[in-house]
Amino acid sequence: MYRTVIVEDDPVITLLNRRYIEKDERFCVVQTFSAAHPALFWLRSNPVDLIILDVYMPQMNGLELLRMLRAEGVDSDVIMVTSANDAETIEALMRLGVTDYLIKPFGLERFQLALDTFCNRKNAIHDSAQGAFTQNKLDRALLHISAPVPQTKSAPPKGLQAKTLERIKLYLQQNPGGHTCDDIAGHVDLSVVTVRRYVNYLVEQSIISSDMDYNTGGRPCIVYHAEN
């Protein structure tokens, strides 16, 4: 399991982020902090794989915390979960190597995509640890760019069924417009978690596309479309 820490001053957001993370069995939340200083002290001597970090916090903000962690050699991956959306802050954090940047409010599916991207990068690096990287492997590890879809038909990755992939693709082709994982799951008789795995693969292969829908009246969500 990937050891994860949440640094967020809003207890409601902390609880929500924790629930999102604990839905994924690849991760475990080992500690939460409501302020940057105790997080800095703890992280100095407790290595973790991933930090979920807010920007706006009292006394020391998330950008300052991350600068200090990097200066002290703490190289944990970081996903920003914050309402900070100005270009200067985003650029400064990207320079410090954040893995992903989620602007509040966001939905579970976007959070899950950030976790999946983190895991895909880790897996790509791990798989090539004993040998040299190819350009495709390096693209997947650093940029989360998938290899081009081969022209000849090939079997899907282990754990994914070709018939299920085809059923989801066919549903999207026959029903134009954006569809959430919940929409798709209800029409193809699969769980939302299962559908998410399949649509993530289909997006990676450029078979379908995805974008954010902000016109939901609540939190934005990811919707999926068949490619034309």
In terms of pTM, does the model score above 0.75? Answer: no
Q: Which pLDDT score is estimated for 217? A: 63
CATH hierarchy code of domain 2-109: 3.40.50.2300
Q: List pLDDT tens digits, range 56-102.
A: 998 899 999 999 999 999 999 999 999 888 999 999 999 998 999 99
Banded pLDDT at 2 (limits 50, 70, 90):
very high
Q: List pLDDT tens digits, range 173-210.
A: 999 888 999 999 999 999 998 999 899 888 888 888 88
Domain 114-226 of CATH type 1.10.10.10: yes
Mean pLDDT taken over the chain: 85
Which residues, in sequence order, are CB contacts of 145 under 8 Å at separation 6+?
A: 139
Using an 8 Å Cβ cutoff, are 79 and 50 in contact?
Answer: yes
Long-range contacts from 211-216, C-beta under 8 angstroms, 24+ separation: 211/178, 212/110, 213/178, 213/180
Query: From CA 6, how far away is CA 212, in angstroms rounded?
Result: 24
Angle at 126 between CA 121 and CA 131, to 5 degrees: 120
Highest mean pLDDT among 10-24, 33-47, 79-93: 33-47
Query: From CA 222, how far away is CA 184, in angstroms rounded?
Result: 12
For 94, the token pair is 């990207």
CA dihedral 223, 101, 48, 31 (to 10 degrees): -80
Domain boundaries, the chain: 2-109, 114-226
